[in-house]
C-alpha cells in the first residue's frame, strides 16, 4: 500500500474495533497450536443514503501468516465471517484487496466474490521536515 502507517497504527486499529466487538464488529483468529496463523476483522456499516442506506458487511482486514498460506485458512476465515454476517441478516458483503495481490483476488473469486470497483489513488511527494 502507499499509505505510511503511524507507529501506533495497531493500537489505533484495536481501539476502533473494541467498542462494537460482537455487535457490529467481528474478529476471527486462526491458530496452529499456540501460534497465531491468521486473522480477519470486519464490521457492519451502512451504504450511503443515495445507495439505499442498507446495512452491509465490510471485511476490513484478512491476514494469513506466510508459513500458513495455501492451507485453507484464508478460505476458512472468510467463510466464518460470511456466516457471522449472514446470522445478522446481512446479504451484501464488501472488501478491498490490493490489486497486486493475485492470490487473494483468486481466493475471493473462488469463494464467489466478484470485482465491482477499482480504487485509484493519487499522491504528491511528502514534504520533508527541514
pLDDT at 129: 55
Average pLDDT value over all residues in the chain:
89
Q: Is the pLDDT of residue 19 over 60?
A: yes
Q: Is the pLDDT of residue 23 over 80?
A: no
pLDDT at 123: 84
Q: Is the pLDDT of residue 41 over 90?
A: yes
**Maximal C-alpha separation, the chain:** 54
Residues 28-37: pLDDT tens digits? Answer: 999 999 999 9
Supply φ then ψ for residue 67, to 5 degrees: -70, -15
Q: Is the pLDDT of residue 105 over 90?
A: yes
Identify whether the C-beta of residue 107 lies closer than 8 Å to the C-beta of residue 75.
yes
Q: Is the pLDDT of residue 122 over 70?
A: yes
pLDDT at 78: 97
pLDDT at 81: 97
pLDDT at 60: 92
* Class of the CATH-defined domain 18-41+48-62+72-98: alpha beta
SS3 7: coil
Amino acid at each position: 500500500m502507499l499509505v505510511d502507517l503511524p507507529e501506533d497504527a495497531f493500537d489505533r486499529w484495536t481501539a476502533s474495533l473494541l467498542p462494537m466487538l460482537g455487535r457490529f464488529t467481528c474478529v476471527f483468529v486462526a491458530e496452529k497450536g499456540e501460534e497465531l496463523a491468521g486473522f480477519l476483522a470486519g464490521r457492519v456499516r451502512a451504504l450511503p443514503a443515495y445507495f439505499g442506506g442498507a446495512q452491509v458487511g465490510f471485511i476490513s482486514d484478512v491476514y494469513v501468516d506466510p508459513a500458513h498460506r495455501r492451507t485453507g485458512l484464508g478460505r476458512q476465515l472468510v467463510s466464518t465471517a460470511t456466516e457471522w454476517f449472514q446470522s445478522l441478516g446481512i446479504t451484501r458483503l464488501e472488501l478491498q484487496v490490493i490489486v497486486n495481490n493475485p492470490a487473494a483476488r483468486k481466493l475471493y473469486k473462488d469463494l464467489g466474490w466478484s470485482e465491482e470497483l477499482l480504487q485509484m489513488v493519487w499522491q504528491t511527494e511528502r514534504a520533508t521536515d527541514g
